[in-house]
Structure 1
Amino acid sequence: MSLSTARAKEKQDVARTTTWTSIALNCVLSTAQLTVGFIAHSQALLADGVHSLSDLVSDFIVLIANHRSAAAPDHDHNYGHSRYETVASLFLGGLLIAVGAGMLWRAGTRVLNLDDIPPVHASALVVALIVLVSKEALFRYMLRAAERVRSALLVANAWHARSDAASSLVVALGIIGSLAGLKFFDPIAAALVGFMVGKMGWSFAWDALQDLSDRALDQTAAADLRAILLGTPGVREVHELRTRKMGDLAIVDAHILVDPRISVSEGHFIAESARAHVMTDPRVIDALIHVDPESDALNPLPGNFPLRSTAMDAVRAAFGAESLPIEELNLHYLSSGFDIDIVLPAHLPDQLGEDAAARLARIDIDALKRKLGAHELRVTHALRTTRDAPARP
């Protein structure tokens, strides 16, 4: 089992365990809140009960999203299904906003009709305190597990439980005020709960919307990834490092600078090594590494210099006139100019003897450079290496 697969399985197991724990607790608490809230005439406790019911809905959303996000990439989702978690967070945020708005509306109508509010029974306070302690304990348990597996959706669900604890505290204070004879305390507490729920929903929805809009990792995480890439042997510099979030993970796109005169295969090897290194970061789900010989800001635009076919035809014509075969032709498109490396067969001196040097001397290298717009032209063979034409006799 690969490291990424093991992490995904652990995350799924933790999500399942913590969410079912939350479901069981919320079933018990919401039943107690709604029942006692109705009997004890506490609008605040009823509002908190509705809040707990919304927790049940969000818990099931988490379970569904966790199951779907773990699916392997397919032809419709080449990068996997991690954004199901982000979509679920957006839906959860919208649900909380709707629940909060309903609570505010109901609390507002109660405040306008204070005379119709019956006295609150002390049993409502007991239930509110039990819920407060239970939700705070659930929050601490869920947050610890969510941070361990780096799940934004589970962190959001954990803080949802903390918002429940905070709202239960407000409910308890409202009930205490109501028991003291201040009737408006109970509906005011219900309104505060509604506001807190709506605010939490807006926070979840906004964060999810940003992630769905290809939000990048924060600067600290990006700096960590840059350091990993720079630590790869053969990488001289990293530029145009870009990331975009996919649920709790991210896709990385980076340009690396390598020695401009190495072979294509070596450049590819360095790029694959850099990709393998950056993929060890638990935040990275995939990476695309582009190899550059130098900064894109300096590199000349394509089309300013001849293509390989044009250069090859000109070189073969010039060397063919002297019956000199070409073993290899390497082209370098650099900010300093267009460089050409011509490699003659290693056995050529053995076949032609001193005549090989004489034939090479008759080639007008300067004219060939001017024709191709080359900055440098190097000819390499077993006898010597020259940058320009040898002196004519």
Structure 2
Amino acid sequence: MSFEAHPVSAPDEALDADRARQAQRATWVSVAVNVVLTVLQITVGLISHAQSLVADGMHTLSDLLGDFLVLFASRHGASPADELHPYGHGRYETAASLVLGLVLAGVGAGFLLTAAVRLQSLESLPQLHPMALWMALLTLVGKEGLFRYMLAVAQRLRSPMLVANAWHARADAASSLVVAVGIGGSLLGYRFLEPLGAALVGFMILRMGAMLGYEALRELIDTGVQPDEVARIRETVTTTPGVIDVHELRTRRMAHRVLVDAHVRVDARISVSEGHRIAELARHRVRSRHEDVLDVLVHVDTEEDQMAALGRTLPGREALVAELDALLGDVPQAAPAVFHYVGERVEAEVYLPFEWCADTDRLAGLQQRLRDYGNGASSHWGQIALLCKIAP
């Protein structure tokens, strides 16, 4: 039996909305910094004939695209669950990270190609102006400060998308350092250093884009969480009162949250309502003890899957009731019979009126009839218990 994941509660939706607001505020700060740096880098790069600075400015321009992707994903990813998206819209963040990774990889490849062409014609490269060096250093300071700010916000909100954007800023800072070294070396007479710096920047950007795209793709194909976290979740479910065993525990990520599926084994003779209560308790324990878990789907088993396969040929309730009614004849039943599928046998609980149980001779005759039938005429019956109902 399966107990489906419940919709995300109102407090969870409020937390997600607040998280989205903080993510958008941090991203707007990044937008403002990148707009200023893009204009300055491209302008100064063109005036000073520093192609590496222009390339770095175009890299910063790609950051703006990344920022707007983050804003879009933060807004739509925080939307509450609905009929078509019962688990919410967290995959917007993952999709944005994948697009950002592809953009970075493309920009990096373009830088590498341009730098390779320029390295083959060093004599034709124009003389650089010193202002290019100062602009590269200013960009380095601005990008490093933006990285530290964005990473702090990302870690507080546990947002992979903001972490990606923060490390994008750190990659920019590193590329600005390479550009500054290249421009400085070129001003000292080592003209090959400036296009070489542009090539190194291109490689760094390409590598970062490939890593971001790979991680986003892993999430989109439902890669599970780390084994140590799976072990902790398994321990939480296993120690739930009423759970005998846990198997087929599966996890998958949705942005910063985790979805869990688990099969738990309980006593075969408990009621459906008690099995449901055990499943709900296991679900509550996992969600309360593992803050990244969005929801848990618990499937209740009464025996190991190998044993359950053996009982698939057993008759269903309708056939069992008809067979039992024919066996009981005119014996009244005070309540519907309860059947337990245990291995390759079906056990039954038959409820008789209290006044009928008072006739010991009649009861003994019925017991003997059931015993003979179970031992000879039928192979699928196990124990049949006769119970007296003394209250409505």
TM > 0.5 fold call: yes
323-332 or 236-245, which deviates more: 323-332
Q: Secondary structure at the match of 1:298?
A: helix
Give the one of 190, 202, 208 matched to 1:182: 190
Counterpart pick for 1:116 among 115, 118, 124: 124
Which residue in 2 is equivalent to 1:153?
161
1:249 corresponds to which letter in structure 2?
R
1:314 maps to what in 2? Answer: 323
Give the percent of matched residue pairs that are identical in Structure 1 and Structure 2: 44
CA distance in 2, matches of 1:138, 1:194: 21
TM-score between both structures, scaled by the size of structure 1: 0.90
Q: CA RMSD in A?
A: 2.1
- Are positions 1:94 and 2:102 aligned together? yes
Which of the residues 358, 362, 365 maps onto 1:359? 365
Change (3 A) 1:259 1:37: same
The answer to whether structure 1 residue 288 and structure 2 residue 288 are counterparts is no
Q: CA deviation at 1:272?
A: 1.7
**Conserved 8 A contact 1:238-1:255:** yes
Q: Distance in 2 between matches of 1:375 and 1:265?
A: 24
Identify the residue that residue 172 of structure 1 maps to in structure 2: 180
By relative contact order (CA 8 Å, sep 6+), the higher-ranking structure is 2
Deviation at 1:230, TM superposition (A): 2.4
For 1:358 and 1:378, the matched residues in 2 are separated by 14
Is the CA contact (8 Å cut-off) linking 2:111 and 2:198 kept in structure 1? yes
Equivalent residue of 1:300, what SS? helix
The count of aligned residue pairs is 380
Instruction: Measure how far apart 1:370 and its partner are.
Output: 4.0
Picking from 275, 278, 284, the partner of 1:270 is: 278
Change in CA separation of 1:74 and 1:6 when aligned onto 2, cut-off 3 Å: closer
> Matched residues in 1 for 2:57 and 2:23: separation?
24
Q: Provide the residue aligned with 2:387 in structure 1.
A: 381
**Of 5, 22, 26, the match for 1:18:** 26
**Does the 8 Å contact 2:351/2:388 carry over to 1?**
no
Write the deviation string for residues 124-144 of structure 1: whole angstroms up to 9, x where unpaired: 111111211221121111111
Gaps of 5+ in 2: 1-8
| Shift in Å, 1:171 | 0.9
Compute the displacement of 1:380 (Å): 2.7
Q: Secondary structure at the match of 1:332?
A: strand
- Which range moves more in the overlay, 71-80 or 26-35? 71-80
- Whole-angstrom CA distance in 1 between matches of 2:314 and 2:173: 68
The question of whether the paired residues in 1 share the 8 Å contact of 2:240 and 2:281 is answered with yes
C-alpha distance in 1 between matches for 2:121 and 2:220: 44
Bigger CA drift: 293-302 or 84-93? 293-302
Residue in 1 aligned with 2:63? 55
- 2:280, 2:61 → 1: CA distance? 50
Q: Distance in 2 between matches of 1:22 and 1:274?
A: 42
Alignment check: 8 A CA contact 1:34 1:45 kept: yes
Q: Structure 2 length as normaliser, TM-score?
A: 0.91
**What does residue 334 of structure 1 align with?**
342
